[in-house]
Structure 1
């Protein structure tokens, strides 16, 4: 089934969006902010993770990390695509806050907020399946890392697309959203790295873990 997204109809500033979904006679799914006339439809109430109101309310240096969700899927993708688990976690946290059914105002879906073309490229048939989504997003991240090498730039490409990065001389495009995205992923990446090192140190032989009862 192919997917047609009418992203320009969505208001990026909105905190919550009402989106109308209908399937035409050819089986193509359409999303719109306007109610379809003379067609059956479903209403989706979309929470936009990257919208300004949500983004600006979070202190990325202190917001709690999410280390206990989709660990097996993340480790699997990290091994297959030669990425640090901490980087994958940082992208997932920044993109969806680990909500596997998240949908953005532009139609990006799932944990790593994959657009339909990215899903097709990396054979993601169900963007809401955590394993498929994480592997698809990680494969795309690996591709961008190979093309641009520098962390700032390939994160910018993940957010704004390769076309925008190429247009601005393989540098971060001057888009406030993209600059903010790179900033917050880097903060989360560093914090997830620190968390991984701490967890590894605590698991070394000779370290004593005391449970809540003190025994």
Structure 2
């Protein structure tokens, strides 16, 4: 399978990123903080976290090893590079089967209830079922967007409707643009390890 890497419009140069959460829970990310309430984030295996947080890299490695053969098998079953599925899982859950997002996404591939239902996943916490449903969804997004990896990843993050709404371009959402960059970075790292 050939995947297109189109980087126009998404910068791969990563500046320092700062996060601020206001009293209403609204999150602001910026590279130019205008007050001391912004906290610097750092890129980790789990994504972007506050600089002071401790990263449990041993848990990441242990969980990755525990689920690696299942992920590889499912990816190959659906014709996707295992390194791509690993990259999505790294960005989505850092291999934490118990991960739950504020939006209600659950498991390794962070399946939303509607997506799980669409792909017949009854137990989103079951790693095999979750990876199976998430991998089929990713494969279908790649087909939908003519193997354009950036668009498929943007759709995985923001929904295919958001990508279509913006004329088959990556939506102008910071979270989605950062997500696409992060997954592609992980994907490249995993591809290098396979060689």
Using structure 2 for the length normalisation, give the TM-score: 0.70
Q: What displacement does 1:69 show?
A: 3.2
Could you say which residue in structure 2 is the equivalent of 1:146? Answer: 143
Q: CA RMSD in A?
A: 2.5
Q: Is the 8 A contact 1:145 1:151 kept in 2?
A: yes
Could you say which residue in structure 2 is the equivalent of 1:47? Answer: none
Judging changes above 3 Å, is the alpha-carbon distance between structure 1 residues 88 and 152 closer, same or farther for their aligned structure 2 residues? same
Q: Is the 8 A contact 1:69 1:98 kept in 2?
A: no
Q: What displacement does 1:12 show?
A: 6.1
- Which structure has the greater CA radius of gyration? 1
Could you say which residue in structure 2 is the equivalent of 1:118? Answer: 115
Partner-residue secondary structure (3-state), 2:66: coil
Among 17, 23, 42, the alignment partner of 1:57 is 42
- Gaps spanning 5+ residues in structure 2: where? 1-23, 29-37, 48-54
CA distance in 1, matches of 2:103, 2:152: 20
1:185 pairs with 2:179: no
Structure-to-structure mapping, 1:54-133, within 5 angstroms: 56-59=41-44, 66=61, 67-133=64-130
Deviations 1:59-109 (A, max 9, x none): 469x97845230121122112210010000000000001000100010000
- Gaps spanning 5+ residues in structure 1: where? 1-9, 15-51, 198-215
Partner-residue secondary structure (3-state), 1:68: helix
Count of matched residue pairs: 149
Partner-residue secondary structure (3-state), 2:65: coil
Q: Is the 8 A contact 1:12 1:105 kept in 2?
A: no
Q: What displacement does 1:13 show?
A: 3.6
Structure number with the bigger relative contact order (C-alpha 8 A, sep ≥ 6) is 2
Q: What displacement does 1:11 show?
A: 4.1
Using structure 1 for the length normalisation, give the TM-score: 0.64
Judging changes above 3 Å, is the alpha-carbon distance between structure 1 residues 176 and 109 closer, same or farther for their aligned structure 2 residues? same
